[in-house]
Amino acid sequence: MRTLFAALALTALLTSGTTGATNAPANAYCYIGWPLDGQVMAAGKPFRVWFGLRHMGVAPKDVAFENTGHHHLLIDTELPPAGQPIPSDRNHLHYGAGETETMIELAPGKHTLQLLMGDANHVPHVPPVISKKITITVR
């Protein structure tokens, strides 16, 4: 009976909707493999953004495996506050199905792109797993 109760308690803990921070390996990092920093992209056409990740795995949202998370692409914005769910809007794109690339189209001009890993509940890990912020030009 104790084993059953412990298993149920653990299941409830793992599937609860709390937004506490999830630990990440200290050496984990993500990066944008394409486009490159300084790249010039053609206006009026979608382009591919390729996500890279080291020392962690990718898992869809709502799946809480140790040392995993999913990508969020930040466009023309700063990092969101630590310990809170990453917003979902035109500047914070979520890839909760575990995607490792996307196609986006941006208006002409200079833009910044940065990746941020989020846990099963879209909360950044501790320490945060972020890419270098790159700048691209669309013309």
pLDDT tens by residue, 100-113: 999 999 999 999 99
User: Is the backbone peptide bond immediately before 25 cis, with ω within 30 degrees of 0?
Assistant: no
pLDDT tens digits, one per residue of 49-93? 999 999 999 999 999 999 999 999 999 999 999 899 999 999 999
Mean of the per-residue pLDDT values of the chain = 89
Give the pLDDT confidence score for residue 124 in this predicted structure. 97
* Structure confidence at residue 128 as a pLDDT band (50, 70, 90): very high
- From residue 130, alpha-carbon distances to 7, 52, 82, 136 in Å are 34, 11, 12, 18
Give pLDDT, residue 73.
98
Q: Is the pLDDT of residue 8 over 90?
A: no
pTM to 2 decimal places: 0.85
Determine the pLDDT at residue 21: 79
The DSSP bridge pattern shows strands 47-54 and 101-104 to be antiparallel
